[in-house]
A and B are shown apart, each in its own frame.
Chain A
Amino acid sequence: MQTKVKVREQKILLVDDLDYNRQLLRNNLTMLFSREKLKYKTFSYFQAHNASSALLTFSQQLPDMVFLDIELPDGSGLELLKRFKELKPHCFVVMVSGVSTLENVKSSIDSGAASFIVKPFTGDKILSVLKQFDRYYDKLPKIIEEPLIQKP
């Protein structure tokens, strides 16, 4: 008989000022989770349309994965990335931007971004990030994950 360990749903935070972009991303994440062979595929979603609401939601929910647009109406995603990594150093943050300047890419890496997507979104870009998340999450020290296991 198999023993099932109930692990709590992981959380994704989508940060983009454009509602349609968040919807598109969410649709495609759901589609890829259901269609592709991915290890981690049960997620709950949270959304934010600007930097201040993103910071609030992040500190309340401490998500496992974040898609973070760099150009936000009330601030830079790069600054937000630093705050997120302070609040939860192991959070997997994917920077999203319409412009991939060397400066943006470098400072994303320096501040601890796990990945970088240049808009427009494509299925390949999103899937590549999700596969990377699987590898990343497997490598996380187990002790960090222990408090996250939901006891029945």
Chain B
Amino acid sequence: MNILFAEDDELLAQLFQLQAESADYLVVWAENGDVAVQQALSYQFDLIFMDIQMPVLDGVSAMQMLRQLGYDRPIIAMSAEAVTAAGFDLSLKKPLQWPEVKQQLAQFKAIPSIELELPTELKLAYLAHAKQLLQQLVLLVEQQNWVDFMAIVHQLKGSAASFDIAALSQLAEQLQTEWNSIPTEQRTERATYFLEQCTACKLK
């Protein structure tokens, strides 16, 4: 079972991770409510633990945003105070006591994940499209046209993983995250490295 653990205290998160993983749960840590919302909308988690007091976005607001967007998976509140907000499936008192948490966790079940149906011809058509995009990127690097270059990188990030080339999406995401902090004179080098990495992905 996959758990998202939203908690701004890193040590508490590490402790929970150790305890939960010893009982075969998989835990991903989110350091605030904003990260928790973003992660939750990826629908890879069977259950969310949500601390109430967190920076950027508090746990109640994060839960409410998710519920407003129809998020229907269990969310467990964690707080030293009583939690009155509607929308949580359960509220646990902090500090968490692992034996109690473990017992409570038993009532939640892993949600079977559904494979995306990807017809071969559609995958092949997308692959051809992705190869064309990479060729365009080579030209754009030569022209140092970074606006169009990053627009294509953004498109690759959003679409490649849906078509079973997650590696390409990840490379694009990494570049996108780094891009604004790369000095102008180093952009060509970084972009060329990105294209080399993409070529190494061997689009088949």
Interface residues, chain A, CB within 8 Å of chain B?
18, 20-21, 23-24, 27-28, 31-32, 71, 97-98, 100-102, 105-106, 108-109, 113-125, 127-129, 131-132, 135-136
- Chain B 149-182 near chain A by CB (<8 Å), digits 1 or 0: 0000011011111110010010000000000000
In the assembled complex, the Cα of A54 lies from the Cα of B15 at a distance in Å of 49
B116 and A122 contacting across the interface, CB-CB below 8 Å: yes
A28 contact set on B, CB distance < 8 A: 116-117
In the assembled complex, the Cα of A62 lies from the Cα of B162 at a distance in Å of 28
A71 and B41 contacting across the interface, CB-CB below 8 Å: no
B57 contact set on A, CB distance < 8 A: 102
In the assembled complex, the Cα of A126 lies from the Cα of B154 at a distance in Å of 22
B111 contact set on A, CB distance < 8 A: 124
A120 contact set on B, CB distance < 8 A: 158-162, 166, 169
- Which residue in chain A gives the minimum CB-CB distance to B154? A98
Chain B positions 83-137 with a Cβ under 8 Å from a chain A Cβ: 111, 113-119, 122, 125-126, 129
Instruction: Decide if the interface of chain A is mainly helix, strand, loop or mixed.
Output: helix
**Which 8 A/B pairs are nearest by Cβ-Cβ distance?**
A123-B114, A98-B158, A120-B161, A132-B70, A120-B162, A119-B158, A100-B38, A118-B41
